[in-house]
Amino acid sequence: MIFETLEIDGKMFDAYSISLKPAPFLLIRSADKSFLACGFLDIAAADNLNACAAKVKGVKTFDDMLKAEVIAVTKEAEAKGVKVGMTGKEALLKF
């Protein structure tokens, strides 16, 4: 597992990468435990748990996640202004 601290526009985030096949599991978490995750995330399960989460796909690095388009969000994330179609970076800054 790889752990990094990312600073994005002055906000700090914890970033995790777990080596899996065919691609790594990637997650970037905000201070309030909201998170952006890769395609492995089951957004319906996250929604059922009232998690504040957004999903991107086709990513292999944290930088990819920031540039990727959000393809799904939970109700909690939507309430914070996160929308499908924004970038991962834009979503994280809403958290």
- pTM metric for this prediction: 0.94
pLDDT at site 59: 97
Tens of pLDDT, residue by residue over 1-23, are 999 999 999 999 999 999 998 89
Q: Which residues contact 54 (CB under 8 A, 6 or more apart)?
A: 35, 36, 37, 70, 72, 73, 74, 77, 82, 88, 91
Which CATH number is 2-94's, of 1.20.1250.20, 3.30.1330.40, 3.30.1980.10, 3.20.20.80? 3.30.1980.10
Tens of pLDDT, residue by residue over 30-72, are 999 999 999 999 999 999 999 999 999 999 999 999 999 999 9
pLDDT at site 20: 93
pLDDT at site 60: 94
The whole-angstrom distance between residue 19's C-alpha and the CA centroid of its chain comes to 17
Q: Strand pairing partners for 29?
A: 14, 35
pLDDT at site 36: 99
